[in-house]
Amino acid sequence: MLTKKSRIKDVYANPIGRDIIDRVLLQMNISKKAVTNPIVGNLKLKVLPKLPKSQLDEGFLDTLLTLLNTEHEAAKGNDEAILKAWWKEAVFYQIYPRSFKDSNGDGIGDLQGIISKLDYIKELGIDAIWLSPIYDSPNDDNGYDIRDYHKIMAEFGTMEDFDRLLTEVHNRDMRLIMDLVVNHTSDEHMWYQKAIHEPDSKYGDYYIFKDQPNNWTSFFSGSAWNYVEERGQYALHLFSKKQMDLNWENETLRHEIHDMVKWWLEKGVDGFRLDVINYISKRSGLPDGNESIGKLMEYHGVEHYFYGPRLHEYLHDMKEKVFIPYNAFSVGETPGTGMEMSKLLTADYRKELDMVFSFDHLETPGHTRFDDYQYDLNYLKSYMINWMENYGNHCQPSLFYENHDNPRMISKINSDRHYRNVLGKLLAVIQLTLRGTPFIYQGQEIGMINQNFRSTSDLRDVESLNLYDELCNTMNKEEAFAKILAGSRDHARTPMQWNNQQYAGFSTGKPWIMMDEDYKNCNVEAQLQDENSILRFFQKLIALRKEHRVIYYGEVLFINQKEKDLFTYYRKDGTETLYIEMNLSSSNKKRAKYPEGIRLLSNYAEDSSSFLRPYEASIWKYN
Ligand code: TEU
Ligand code: CA
């Protein structure tokens, strides 16, 4: 039991304590040495608020201790060999249906459009497809606000279309996972309508109501509470005003969700990506968020729901009663969780989630998504070394750079088009040769980059538009738009670029969101005919991965760790050794040593001499 008399080193030994301290250090761009040195390590917690310039108030310690004392035991390490599983060998491909392929000319992607591109996805070497939400929705947050879990969104097609899609995916020996959004529903969902109009019915307790709001803020700007006239109370929404948080304390509701998931698994769906699943358990009493934490995390109240008291119980229950009976796969989106929490959520012997998405590698220390800065790949190197060496054999890392919530990775690192091809390929080598399950996001395989949005009228994303309005309270329009342009989720949501025809072959009608001229030079059709394209490289790399199973379960041994801009490692198991060498910079880099063996694949046709060229990345097979 940790108390105010406990020392920093005791907190750092606690799994949650380790993650929180690592996150604070990351946010403030301070190295870990700051807490591992004995002087700081022996400081008692109670002195923290008294330290000079400390912005930590008394309440901070109470909140911290409540959080820390929910978890005592850290997850097990490398005491056993890695258990094999299809999803530890698979390459996943994420589709954002609204922007993938339109089949009926209304400018909106749909299920028939996806079916028409399944052969393309199969030829890329994909084993499993993750579909962002396709359920009936008023689209306040593009489908992440579900009105009916058993109905397909009208714009995307019919349940018959879905059944055919599932069959066609399985006919090509691929799997299909759906997006499970059960932290909240749309306010137009029957459950919510009943909750506010028949508060005494069983639905009355399906959501989170309070007589007075607390200070929690929404991720899409403003308060996290709506006043509900019908009940004379306030209702919680951590995201948009039309996305109402469900009350997972209610057992009847949990069973309804279990039945809904079983309904889709009965259809033959192979698993789920679980949306903001670490937010489903809120601290009882819904206390105010701590001011200091709120300032640091930019969202008030997050400490009371990002790793709630009953989270493990709810996940274990769903695993036992729903996922195991159907042998279904599960990957949780868990923003804010660190490595130790991720271990406790995914370690195979704990029977909760199979994997999680952690997001701390998407921005370098001290930066947020809306900061305009150049991403340093040396941070990605240190991040990956940490996770490869410390995540353990009971846990499977997820490997991704892009999804529908983040700008394009190439643009974050280097917007000089001269390096686009080799950089896109280098990122692929890291993602497909480290130990973990890769998730490729639509368009990443052809090296799509950020969009040239000219004004807010080009934007569609509720988060971007709300934040723009909020920023205009503290800065002028140009500055506000510049911040939005740096981090808007819409960069990832522009139409897939299939060819150089009008609307890039995405649709015969005007797309729901704009696209600039990039598709004329960057599109699937051209890249399929170009041996040197990023697309062809992804195909070869995924094929290489399938031929060299050492990449699935083999050891990862890093060398030259301290050498800036050089990223080199071996993949080893009893049968073979691969050596991967990369130059993380846009200038020549002296080679550490001349590799032996056979050069299997590289983003430069000819091998180098003593220098690696900009972003050069090569895979060698040792005898
Ligand atoms: O995102 C959750 C999440 O925390 C973020 O990454 C989010 O995109 C946002 O930027 C918060 O800062 C999931 C979905 O991926 C996202 O598309 C949804 O908007 C959100 O949940 C609500 O369902
Ligand atoms: Ca359509």
Per-residue pLDDT tens over the stretch 527-556: 999 999 999 999 999 999 999 999 999 999
Which one is catalytic: 140, 141, 245, 333? 333
Angle at 162 between CA 259 and CA 354, to 5 degrees: 50
User: Rounded mean pLDDT of 261-280?
Assistant: 98
Dihedral-angle region of residue 584 (phi above 0 means left; psi in -120 to 50 means alpha; beta otherwise):
alpha
Task: Please determine, for residue 261, whether its predicted confidence score (pLDDT) is greater than 90.
Answer: yes
Question: Is the minimum distance from the CB of 219 to ligand 1 under 6 angstroms?
Answer: yes
Terminal Cα distance for the chain, rounded: 53
pLDDT at 292: 86
Ligand 2 geometric centre to CA of 165 (Å):
15
Ligand 1 geometric centre to CA of 35 (Å):
31
Answer yes or no: are the C-beta atoms of 574 and 554 closer than 8 Å: no
**502: DSSP letter:** G
Under the banding of pLDDT at 50, 70 and 90, the label for residue 264 is very high
pLDDT at 296: 83
At position 177, the amino acid (one-letter code) is: I
Q: Which ligand is nearest to the CA of 105?
A: 2
**38 or 337, greater pLDDT:** 337
3-state class (DSSP) for residue 578:
strand
Dihedral-angle region of residue 12 (phi above 0 means left; psi in -120 to 50 means alpha; beta otherwise):
alpha
Residue located via tokens 């900061």: 371
Under the banding of pLDDT at 50, 70 and 90, the label for residue 622 is very high
Q: pLDDT tens-digit profile of 481-537?
A: 999 999 999 999 999 999 999 999 999 999 999 999 999 999 999 999 999 999 999
Ligand 1 geometric centre to CA of 340 (Å):
22
Nearest to 141 by CA among 246, 243, 273: 243
Burial class (CB in 10 A: 0-12, 13-18, 19+), 600: middle
User: Rounded mean pLDDT of 587-614?
Assistant: 92
pLDDT at 610: 87
CA gap 316, 312 in Å, rounded: 6
E-strand spans in 448-576? Answer: 555-559, 566-572
CATH number of 190-236: 3.90.400.10
Task: Please determine, for residue 30, whether its predicted confidence score (pLDDT) is greater than 90.
Answer: no
Under the banding of pLDDT at 50, 70 and 90, the label for residue 55 is low
pTM above 0.95, yes or no: yes
Question: Is the minimum distance from the CB of 239 to ligand 1 under 6 angstroms?
Answer: yes
- Cα-Cα-Cα-Cα dihedral sign, residues 474, 476, 478, 479: negative
Q: pLDDT tens-digit profile of 435-453?
A: 999 999 999 999 999 999 9
Closest residue by Cα to atom 2, ligand 1, is 276
User: Rounded mean pLDDT of 136-145?
Assistant: 98
At position 611, the amino acid (one-letter code) is: F
What element of type H or E holds 243? strand 243-245
The three-state DSSP-derived secondary structure of 511-532 is CCCCCCHHHHCCCHHHHHCCCC
Q: Does domain 545-622 have CATH number 2.60.40.1180?
A: yes
CATH number of 87-189+243-539: 3.20.20.80
**309: DSSP letter:** T
Number of neighbouring beta carbons within 10 Å of residue 176? 21
Task: Please determine, for residue 273, whether its predicted confidence score (pLDDT) is greater than 80.
Answer: yes
Answer yes or no: are the C-beta atoms of 216 and 225 closer than 8 Å: yes
pLDDT at 47: 85
Q: What is the mean pLDDT of the chain?
A: 95
Task: Please determine, for residue 178, whether its predicted confidence score (pLDDT) is greater than 80.
Answer: yes
Q: Which ligand is nearest to the CA of 99?
A: 2
pLDDT at 530: 98
Q: Which ligand is nearest to the CA of 107?
A: 2
Answer yes or no: are the C-beta atoms of 416 and 410 closer than 8 Å: no
Domain chopping of the chain, boundaries: 8-68, 87-189+243-539, 190-236, 545-622
Q: pLDDT tens-digit profile of 306-331?
A: 999 999 999 999 999 999 999 999 99
Which one is catalytic: 127, 155, 275, 461? 275
Closest residue by Cα to atom 8, ligand 1, is 405
φ, ψ dihedrals at 498, nearest 5°: -85, -35
Identify the weakest region by mean pLDDT among 55-64, 294-303, 317-326.
55-64
**Tokens, residue 234:** 């306030």
User: Rounded mean pLDDT of 284-313?
Assistant: 93
Decide if 275 is catalytic.
yes
Identify the weakest region by mean pLDDT among 30-39, 82-91, 494-503, 535-544.
30-39
pLDDT at 617: 98
Question: Is the minimum distance from the CB of 275 to ligand 1 under 6 angstroms?
Answer: yes
User: Closest ligand 1 atom, CA of 141?
Assistant: 19
CA atoms within 13 A on the CB side of 537: 26
User: Rounded mean pLDDT of 253-259?
Assistant: 98
pLDDT at 36: 83
Task: Please determine, for residue 235, whether its predicted confidence score (pLDDT) is greater than 90.
Answer: yes
pLDDT at 38: 87
- Distant-in-sequence, close-in-space partners of 182: CB < 8 Å, separation ≥ 6: 246, 257, 274, 275, 277, 280
**613: DSSP letter:** P
Question: Is the minimum distance from the CB of 181 to ligand 1 under 6 angstroms?
Answer: yes
Q: Please report, rounded to a whole number, the percentage of residues in the chain having pLDDT higher than 90.
A: 86
Task: Please determine, for residue 334, whether its predicted confidence score (pLDDT) is greater than 80.
Answer: yes
User: Closest ligand 1 atom, CA of 462?
Assistant: 19
User: Closest ligand 1 atom, CA of 336?
Assistant: 4
Ligand 2 geometric centre to CA of 139 (Å):
15
